[in-house]
């Protein structure tokens, strides 16, 4: 894929009023979700669940792409049609999670670094052949006493940059996700300071590794109060802090930013995105790449009867996609 094609794909991922649905849960993570609603974690149930999500009627009206797990990219509908083909026909770009998850960072108790670079070049080549046009790599940054360390931030930024360079070499758009966790009792000012340092480090590393920003998407965490903080910042404050942080760190050459929901409620994730877009225009489109905030309500409906409730669950998926699509335009109306 040429530089122009990478840029074209990245721009399509953040098309006006559209965002990304994240359905890239690992087998262990989806087990936790299934356990919470009483569904057995079998390969067939995982396949049926992902089919329900990806075949939602008119999903492409509000969803530009979907991040898949390795197993899902290889799966087919009950009728034998590869999911990647189903998505392409719906105008939804197939993406793939390629990191191997966080592991303890030696010498720094409580901190982690994401693994998965070994063999990544070959895996990306195969994923491209299977139809993936973008990829995702998540780094995890924890706020705590004497955390995050500069070493943790630097190690994760370096890994993200190496991953991004390999993606572009393979003709795949890299989505870089440095998630600053909500866990903790810190206030919004501390979250701002950490997020700013993390983003500065990330873009410095991307520059050093010759990553073309025009063919890269940032998946960012919002600047919020720690979930155990006694004073929770309101919607407008979160929007203002997040925008100020992004404008001070993210180059305008980037095609767009999508936000993770990161443990926020469905409503809060939508309200924060909408508030930010109402404060526009901005140097880049601001959209969403939500997992739980897109799926949780639909999963509960589907789980009650995984065969009979497909239509009702898909209706909920479409509603969540529509609401967040409107929020990406700054046009969401609470209560609709």
Q: How many other β-carbons are positioned within 10 Å of the β-carbon of residue 266?
A: 18
Contact 25, 69 (CB under 8 A): yes
| CA 66 – CA 54 distance, rounded (Å) | 8
In a 10 Å sphere around its CB, with 0-12 CB exposed, 13-18 middle and 19+ buried, how is residue 17 labelled?
Answer: middle
Helix, strand, coil percentages in the chain from 3-state DSSP, rounded to 5: 50, 15, 35
Contact 204, 240 (CB under 8 A): no
| CA 320 – CA 325 distance, rounded (Å) | 8
Cα distances (angstroms) measured from residue 196 to each of 76, 153, 179, 190, 244:
41, 11, 12, 10, 9
Size of the chain in residues:
336
Catalytic residue, chosen from 61, 177, 231, 319, is: 177
* Residue 31: active-site member: no
* DSSP letter for each residue of 141-178: E--BTTBS-HHHHHHHHHHHHHHHHHHHHTT-EEEEEE
* Residue 126: active-site member: no
Structure tokens at 249: 């760190």
Structure tokens at 123: 């895996």
Catalytic residue, chosen from 219, 227, 231, 315, is: 219
Task: Show which residues are catalytic.
Answer: 177, 219
């Amino acid at each position: 894929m040429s530089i122009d094609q990478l840029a074209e794909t990245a721009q399509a991922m953040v098309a006006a009023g559209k965002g990304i649905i994240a359905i890239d849960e690992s087998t262990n993570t989806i087990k936790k979700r299934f356990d919470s609603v009483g569904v057995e974690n079998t390969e067939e149930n995982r396949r049926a669940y992902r089919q329900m999500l990806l075949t939602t009627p008119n999903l492409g009206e509000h969803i530009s792409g979907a991040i898949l797990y390795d197993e899902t990219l290889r799966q087919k509908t009950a009728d034998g049609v590869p999911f990647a083909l189903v998505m392409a026909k719906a105008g939804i770009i197939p993406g793939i999670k390629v990191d191997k998850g966080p592991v303890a960072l030696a010498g720094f108790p409580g901190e982690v670094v994401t693994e998965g670079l070994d063999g990544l070049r070959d895996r990306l080549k195969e994923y491209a052949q299977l139809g993936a046009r973008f990829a995702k790599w998540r780094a995890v940054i924890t706020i705590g006493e004497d955390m995050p360390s500069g070493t943790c931030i630097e190690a994760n930024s370096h890994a993200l940059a190496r991953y991004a360079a390999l993606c572009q070499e393979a003709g795949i758009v890299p989505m870089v996700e440095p998630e600053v966790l909500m866990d903790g009792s810190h206030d919004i000012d501390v979250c701002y300071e950490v997020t700013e340092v993390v983003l500065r480090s990330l873009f410095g590393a991307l520059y050093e590794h010759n990553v073309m920003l025009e063919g890269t998407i940032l998946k960012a965490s919002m600047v919020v109060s720690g979930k155990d903080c006694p004073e929770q910042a309101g919607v407008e404050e979160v929007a203002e802090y997040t925008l100020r942080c992004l404008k001070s760190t993210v180059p305008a050459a980037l095609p767009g930013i999508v936000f993770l929901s990161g443990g926020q409620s469905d409503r809060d994730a939508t309200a924060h995105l909408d508030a930010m877009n109402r404060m526009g225009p901005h140097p880049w489109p601001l959209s969403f790449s939500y997992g739980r905030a897109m799926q949780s309500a639909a999963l509960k409906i589907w789980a009650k009867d995984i065969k009979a409730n497909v239509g009702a669950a898909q209706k909920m998926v479409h509603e969540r996609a529509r609401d967040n699509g409107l929020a990406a335009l700054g046009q969401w109306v609470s209560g609709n």
